[in-house]
Amino acid sequence: MNRRDFLSTGLAAGAALSAGSLDARAEDTAAKTGKGRFQLKYAPHFGMFRHLAGDDLVDQVKFMADQGFTALEDNGMRRRPVELQEQIAREMTRLGMTMGVFVATADFGNPTFASGKADFADKVLEDIRDSVEVAKRVNAKWVTVVPGKFDHRLPMGYQTANVVDLLRRCAEICEAASLVMVLEPLNHWANHPELFLHQIPQAFQICRAVDSPSCKILFDIYHQQITEGNLIPNIDQAWNEVAYFQIGDNPGRKEPGTGEIHYRNIFRHIHEKGFKGVLGMEHGNSKPGADGEQAVIDAYVAHDQF
């Protein structure tokens, strides 16, 4: 699954089970689980449990809470109607859930940050200002920033300087709103070969250069397993600049236990370091339908036992 898929996940409706069947299955699932069962704040996304919870997004939030999840991630929140944003936020407040990231600005076709061009910068700053307003409505603390493509016409040093300069301007806006941009390095090998930001050390260097509490790292474990591996040491090296994690096994980008990553050890390590933030479940389901959705829940129950 690529990020473009995630940006639209949950916006398209799917076929639901009949009301009686859905209710029976949901009640059965809830009976096996309970609130407060997880040691970390794993955050599902809309559409992940639509067969068990139905197509209504507020019902999906309720279902997530019933399974013990205490956070929600929604990359596409900024594009949702204001009324729906407010409705989701009210339900999450009632349930005591934490809002994870939504995407503030991401361009997969242009060198929006690296080129230093004023028209790209103006659009990015507009996105950030709009995201501040969305964050206020949905009680979000973090927003994802993807700094666009490489500019093949510029040496890397100039590109990095341009990225830092624009991020400083973005950070000024975010600091005033107590909002944190999280920069996400995305892998070149499997998904995003042209993007500027692709390594954790690179993101660490940029965050240090921006030097703002509103510019931190989103450590996507799936992407970094592909790019550089050495996951736990890299988490330790970058720790002071990491504000958010995302999850996905490799290969396949599905739930923990479907690939090569030893997620129980990684979750234990993050927990032992005292992490109190959100770990977004930015992956697909390895199996279709309601059984596949239950398998995702079961995977997190199993891998949280550390």
Q: How confident is the model at residue 34 (pLDDT cuts 50, 70, 90)?
A: low
Give mean pLDDT, residues 45-61.
Answer: 98
Asked if residue 229 has pLDDT above 60, the reply is yes
Asked if residue 27 has pLDDT above 80, the reply is no
Q: How confident is the model at residue 8 (pLDDT cuts 50, 70, 90)?
A: very low
Q: 135-149, pLDDT tens digit by residue?
A: 999 999 999 999 999
Asked if residue 25 has pLDDT above 70, the reply is no
Give mean pLDDT, residues 275-293.
Answer: 98
Taking the model in full, what pTM does it have?
A: 0.89
Q: How confident is the model at residue 203 (pLDDT cuts 50, 70, 90)?
A: very high
Cβ atoms within 10 A of the Cβ of 301, count? 15
Q: 98-128, pLDDT tens digit by residue?
A: 999 999 999 999 999 999 999 999 999 999 9
| Per-residue confidence (pLDDT) for residue 35, from 0 to 100 | 62
How far CA 271 is from CA of 36, 68, 182, 231, 249, in Å, comes to: 15, 17, 20, 15, 19
Asked if residue 12 has pLDDT above 70, the reply is no
Q: How confident is the model at residue 210 (pLDDT cuts 50, 70, 90)?
A: very high
Backbone phi and psi for residue 71, each to the nearest 5 degrees, phi listed first: -150, 165
* Domain ranges (residues) in the chain: 3-303
| Per-residue confidence (pLDDT) for residue 50, from 0 to 100 | 98
Exposed / middle / buried, residue 212 (Cβ in 10 Å: 0-12, 13-18, 19+): middle
Contact indicator for 25, 52 with CB cutoff of 8 Å: yes
Average pLDDT, the chain: 91
| Per-residue confidence (pLDDT) for residue 36, from 0 to 100 | 65
Q: 128-137, pLDDT tens digit by residue?
A: 999 999 999 9
| Per-residue confidence (pLDDT) for residue 51, from 0 to 100 | 98
Asked if residue 217 has pLDDT above 70, the reply is yes
Give mean pLDDT, residues 204-221.
Answer: 98
| Per-residue confidence (pLDDT) for residue 85, from 0 to 100 | 98
CATH superfamily of 3-303: Divalent-metal-dependent TIM barrel enzymes (3.20.20.150)
Q: How confident is the model at residue 14 (pLDDT cuts 50, 70, 90)?
A: very low
* Closest to 45 (Cα-Cα) out of 102, 108, 109: 102
